[in-house]
């Protein structure tokens, strides 16, 4: 399956926007909540935002409950890949601890992209081409 470069660029832009949204929500919520509940709520808000931005902008697909419920797997995957990446980079490759998380995060982007694409476009691929295109335009 050919992956359009525009889709990858949009996915990356959504990720950057999502990170900013998370941080802004976190800072705003900190005015009313202790730091950890603010962190969790900001994380959940940004994950929901990421879901809708990726369905509409990146993959141009229709959001469904099934996709919505599976989407957190992309965040879990990102966490696992970046966590393992940091360990490998710091312990085995002796990369500076301040740089390793950024490098690991960059390495996680392709993995997260493939998984999110699979989750968010899976049902659309099973529909007839005309129906899938019509769903993407809604």
Number of domains in the chain: 1
Spatial separation of the C-alpha atoms in residues 39 and 138, rounded to whole Å: 33
Query: What is the pLDDT, as a whole number, of residue 102?
Result: 86
Band of the pLDDT at 124, cuts 50, 70, 90? low
- The predicted-structure confidence for 43-84, as pLDDT tens digits, reads as follows 999 999 999 999 999 999 999 999 999 999 999 999 999 999
Tokens linked to 29? 């919520």
Stretch 122-126: mean pLDDT: 59
Position 1 pLDDT exceeds 50: yes
Mean of per-residue pLDDT scores for the chain? 87
Q: Whole-model pTM? A: 0.78
Q: 122: pLDDT confidence band, cut at 50, 70 and 90?
A: confident
Question: Alpha carbon of 16 to those of 10, 71, 121, 137: distances in Å?
Answer: 10, 17, 21, 25
Q: Tell me, rounded to whole angstroms, the distance of Cα 92 from its chain centroid.
A: 27
pLDDT single digits (tens) 74-104: 999 999 999 999 999 999 999 999 899 889 9
Domain that holds residue 16: 5-137
């Amino acid at each position: 399956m050919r992956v359009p470069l525009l889709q990858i660029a949009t996915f990356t832009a959504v990720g950057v926007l999502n990170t900013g949204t998370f941080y802004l929500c976190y800072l705003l919520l900190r005015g009313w909540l202790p730091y950890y509940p603010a962190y969790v709520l900001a994380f959940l808000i940004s994950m929901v935002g990421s879901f809708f931005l990726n369905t509409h902008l990146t993959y141009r697909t229709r959001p469904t409950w099934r996709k919505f419920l599976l989407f957190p797997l992309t965040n879990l995957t990102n966490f696992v890949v970046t966590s393992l990446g940091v360990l490998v980079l710091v312990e085995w490759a002796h990369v500076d601890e301040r740089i390793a998380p950024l490098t690991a995060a960059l390495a996680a982007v392709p993995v997260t992209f493939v998984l999110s694409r699979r989750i968010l476009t899976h049902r659309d691929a099973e529909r007839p081409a005309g129906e899938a295109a019509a769903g993407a335009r809604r």
